[in-house]
């Protein structure tokens, strides 16, 4: 079979108008169905003709999955809410600015107009070997092509590698973990709700996917509790180009302070491991300490303990150390006097 790209394979297009109908379709078609939210990840797989689903379930017509609602104890964001809407939403900006900061830095304006929160957290890895169709572990094979003596792995993992060294590419995921968000999943057994960090799956659990969604599962909403509303937030994304690029790394944190000391903190980083990493050791170590550069430095060093660099990604160790440091101690304002 010779290979050709950039022609989408034919599929049956199913366009449910309700979440229940979508749910039923996913149950019916299971492995044969491809769920499409905004499509920004899906189209690459389809146009590369690596994935050829029998049916495509397009969620864009399911209005009940769209929109942001106050719940009294936080907000609920429909999985099909666009990143642009989240970035501009007054309540999110005011109380959960960490998330608006994060989604504002995703890709490009057009992609944010189309890309959804559900899609952003459910997207697949961007390892260039895996995405080009190499028969690697993640694709069901028995090899990692990135982790060889000459493999090109500048953008790959320094933590959590288990045969696969791909990283999770989402910008919103660490912010949602830091905000202690809950993911609402529907399937034939009904609704169940998981903590953000538990939604993501490393290769040690299942090497062929990045999250816990099974065929038939539908991510319907993400709930952000008011626990961290108005906390001191920090989000930073480091990427090569200022538009389009996935993160070389990002960090998201939420801190509650009293008198300059850290009462409580949640912090997560992404693009360092096959799943977004919540840094629990850091969270514990900084409790009660001043939110300053010294604590930040200590935390940064702690965060990178156990990191295993590949040939071309050793820079991720100082980068992670520094991003964690900045999340705690902040960044000095640059004001050139001349």
Cross-strand pairs, 186: 191, 218
Size of the site for other proteins (CB under 8 A): 83
**Three-class SS state of 85:** helix
The verdict on 10 binding other proteins (CB under 8 A) reads yes
Positions 298 through 327 that interact with other proteins (CB under 8 A): 312-315, 318-319, 322-323, 325-326
Q: For residue 133, what are its two tokens?
A: 């169709």
Within the chain, what is the greatest distance between any pair of CA atoms?
Answer: 67
Residue 192 Cβ vs other proteins, minimum distance, rounded to whole Å: 29
Residue 335 Cβ vs other proteins, minimum distance, rounded to whole Å: 7
Nearer to other proteins, 104 or 197 (CB): 104
Spatial separation of the C-alpha atoms in residues 30 and 38, rounded to whole Å: 20
Cross-strand pairs, 265: 255
Positions 118 through 177 that interact with other proteins (CB under 8 A): 128-129, 132-136, 139-143, 145, 148-152, 154
Interior angle at CA 10, CA 9 and CA 14, nearest 5: 125
Residue 163 Cβ vs other proteins, minimum distance, rounded to whole Å: 13
Among 73, 94, 109, 284, binds other proteins (CB under 8 A): 109
Place of tokens 């060889």: 148
Positions 238 through 297 that interact with other proteins (CB under 8 A): 238, 240-246, 248
Residue 332 Cβ vs other proteins, minimum distance, rounded to whole Å: 3
Nearer to other proteins, 182 or 325 (CB): 325
Exposed/middle/buried for residue 127 (C-beta within 10 Å: 0-12, 13-18, 19+): buried
Identify the CA nearest to 171 among candidates 230, 120, 205, 206: 120
Axis crossing angle, helix 316-329 with helix 293-303, rounded to the nearest 10: 150
Residue 322 Cβ vs other proteins, minimum distance, rounded to whole Å: 4
Nearer to other proteins, 132 or 205 (CB): 132
Nearer to other proteins, 87 or 277 (CB): 87
Nearer to other proteins, 168 or 182 (CB): 168
Nearer to other proteins, 194 or 238 (CB): 238
Spatial separation of the C-alpha atoms in residues 85 and 77, rounded to whole Å: 10
Helix intervals (H) in the chain: 19-29, 42-47, 83-88, 90-95, 97-104, 109-114, 117-122, 128-131, 172-178, 196-199, 280-286, 293-303, 316-329
Residue 4 Cβ vs other proteins, minimum distance, rounded to whole Å: 4
Residue 184 Cβ vs other proteins, minimum distance, rounded to whole Å: 24
**Three-class SS state of 231:** coil
Positions 67 through 106 that interact with other proteins (CB under 8 A): 84
Positions 12 through 71 that interact with other proteins (CB under 8 A): 12-13, 15, 39-40, 43-44, 46-47, 49-52, 54, 56, 58, 60-61
């Amino acid at each position: 079979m010779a290979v050709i790209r950039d022609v989408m394979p034919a599929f049956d297009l199913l366009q449910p108008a309700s979440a229940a109908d979508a749910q039923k379709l996913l149950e019916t078609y299971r492995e044969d169905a491809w769920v499409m939210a905004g499509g920004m990840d899906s189209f690459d797989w389809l146009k590369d003709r690596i994935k050829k689903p029998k049916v495509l379930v397009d969620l864009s017509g399911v209005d009940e999955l769209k929109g942001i609602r106050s719940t009294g104890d936080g907000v609920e964001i429909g999985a099909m809410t666009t990143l642009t809407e989240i970035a501009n939403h007054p309540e999110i900006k005011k109380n959960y600015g960490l998330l608006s900061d994060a989604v504002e830095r995703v890709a490009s304006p057009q992609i944010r107009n189309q890309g959804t929160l559900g899609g952003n957290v459910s997207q697949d890895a961007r390892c260039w070997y895996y995405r080009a169709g190499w028969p690697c572990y993640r694709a069901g094979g028995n090899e990692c092509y990135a982790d060889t003596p000459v493999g090109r792995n500048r953008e790959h993992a320094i933590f959590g590698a288990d045969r696969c060294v791909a990283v999770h590419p989402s910008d919103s995921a660490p912010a949602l973990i830091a905000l202690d968000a809950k993911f609402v999943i529907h399937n034939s057994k009904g609704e169940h709700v998981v903590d953000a960090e538990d939604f993501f799956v490393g290769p040690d659990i299942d090497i062929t996917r990045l999250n816990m969604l099974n065929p038939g599962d539908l991510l319907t909403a993400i709930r952000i509790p008011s626990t961290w509303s108005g906390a001191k937030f920090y989000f930073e994304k480091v990427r090569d180009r200022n538009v389009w690029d996935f993160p070389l790394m990002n960090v998201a944190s939420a801190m509650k302070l009293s008198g300059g000391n850290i009462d409580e903190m949640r912090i997560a980083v992404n693009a360092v491991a096959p799943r977004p990493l919540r840094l629990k050791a850091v969270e514990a170590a900084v409790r009660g300490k001043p939110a300053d550069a010294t604590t930040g430095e200590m935390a940064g060093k702690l965060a990178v303990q156990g990191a295993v660099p590949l040939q071309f990604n050793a820079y991720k160790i100082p980068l992670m150390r520094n991003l964690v440091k900045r999340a705690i101690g902040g960044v000095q304002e640059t004001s050139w006097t001349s």
